[in-house]
Amino acid sequence: MPESSSAAPVPNSPSTGAQVIYREKLWPNAWIWIIAAGISGAGILVFAPISAAAGFTAAAVLFAIIAVLLVLSTPGIVVTQDSLTIGRATIERRFLGAVEQFRGEEATAERGTRLNGLAYLCIRGWIDPVVKIEITDPADRTPYWLASTRHPDKLAAALIRS
């Protein structure tokens, strides 16, 4: 996470009471929930030799734990008139520069071969498009933020308009 006066850990919602221009939660896709259910089903296999009830109980407990972890770790994107919050990081909009959108192979390259090691990342493997937001704060070594988004056009439009 960027370490400067312009980017600090904060909740997923703006605390200033500024008008929200854009909001998105990066919820897991359906196949992530199917995988969670499959992993939970392994509890049945492990505990079935003890008893069927123990196996089904273990599966239910495992699924509940995985579901809670998935929900609690779901980052949000919030754009207000004054700030941008992605995940746990917030920056004032006056420090934002160019905004670029990438999909498909270009998005893969941005997350991989073209990635700058100093960039702030909030990417999710189950969301293909990414938005790259240039950081212009001279006190911040972070060159840009790279964030997954299901609606790159809407996010870019929200960041470009004043």
Strand order of the β-sheet with 144-148 is 96-102, 130-135, 144-148, 120-122
pLDDT in tens, 84-132: 999 999 999 999 999 999 999 999 999 999 999 999 999 998 999 999 9
pTM of the model: 0.77
**Per-residue pLDDT at 18:** 77
List pLDDT tens digits, range 133-155.
999 999 999 999 999 999 999 99
Nearest Cα neighbor of 45 from 31, 35, 37, 55 is: 55
The class (CATH top level) of 8-25+77-160 is mainly beta
Quote the pLDDT of residue 43: 85
